[in-house]
Amino acid sequence: MTTLTAPAPTDSPPRAPSTRIVSLDVLRGIAILGTLLTNIVVFMVDVGPHKDNALDHFLFTVLGLITDGKFIGLLTIMFGIGLEIQRQAAVRKGETWLGSYPWRAALLVLDGLLNYIFIFQYDVLMGYGLTALVVAVVVSKSPRVQKWCLGVGLGLHVAHLTYLSAPNWHAGPSAVTSLRSMTTSPTLSE
């Protein structure tokens, strides 16, 4: 008489360790929540704090100080790190870098455009998508070209900030005179 036995359970193959970097996920979450807080503050600007309510004015000021550019900057850095991780993954697989990435960036531009039209005019997605298209092309070039593009971009950025931070340099002498007249106290000049 033959006995039938159930086959021994096979052990499932060991799972490959996760390649996700947990600290990047945490920072990305902080950046997204902080950007939400920033957007809430931007919406508050449209409504504005009540001048007679000290608590409203205090909360508006504190939220503005906490969120002013910090979280959007962090989100921008995280976006760049994500782009580099995707580039490195494509290189490891032996694929060409740009591959389908321009389509992903174009979808981000479209999403940002739709958000701009229908939801919120201060949305950053369109800017991220356009920047991603440029950066994706730049990182596919040689290190020499990358350094050249970095130098040109940095030079343009510093020149633009210098232009914006020194309005009297390009406004002419009449603007300086009118600025002095606005800052002079009427009680002191009489």
pLDDT bracket for residue 10 (50, 70, 90): low
Q: Specify the DSSP element, H or E, that contains 34.
A: helix 22-47
The pLDDT of residue 158: 94
Residue with tokens 């039938």: 4
pLDDT bracket for residue 7 (50, 70, 90): low
Q: Is the pLDDT of residue 15 over 60?
A: no
pLDDT in tens, 64-113: 777 777 887 888 888 888 888 888 888 888 888 888 888 988 998 999 89
The pLDDT of residue 67: 74
Kindly state the percentage of the chain with pLDDT values over 70: 72
Q: The tokens of 32 are what?
A: 């997204």
Q: Model's pTM, two decimal places?
A: 0.61
For residues 111 and 120, is the Cβ–Cβ distance under 8 A?
A: no
pLDDT bracket for residue 47 (50, 70, 90): low
pLDDT in tens, 118-145: 887 767 788 888 888 998 899 889 999 9
pLDDT in tens, 163-176: 888 776 655 555 54
For residues 125 and 112, is the Cβ–Cβ distance under 8 A?
A: yes
Distance CA 16, CA 62 (A): 46
Mean pLDDT, rounded, of the chain:
76
Q: Is the pLDDT of residue 185 over 60?
A: no
